[in-house]
Amino acid sequence: MSKVCIIAWVYGRVQGVGFRYTTQYEAKKLGLTGYAKNLDDGSVEVVACGEKGRWKN
């Protein structure tokens, strides 16, 4: 299978509430790699990569 990555920006109340931790925890359970980081504008950038077929539409 081939590797697929997505990049997403999440807005709203996402800093200081455990969003990055929860996102990383759930991604690991799915066998995904990547990162979630706080941005200066208050949003969070999420990059997730994994084998094609693990993604839900």
SS in 3 state form for the chain? CCEEEEEEEECCCCCCCCHHHHHHHHHHHCCCEEEEEECCCCCEEEEEEEECCCCCC
Average pLDDT estimate for 15-34 = 91
The residue from 13, 20, 54, 57 that is catalytic is: 20
pLDDT score recorded for residue 52:
83
Confirm whether 20 is a catalytic residue: yes
Q: What is the third-level CATH fold of 3-51?
A: Alpha-Beta Plaits (3.30.70)
**pLDDT tens digits, residue range 8-21?**
999 999 888 999 89
The residue from 13, 38, 54, 57 that is catalytic is: 38
Domain residue ranges of the chain, discontinuous segments joined by +: 3-51
Confirm whether 57 is a catalytic residue: no
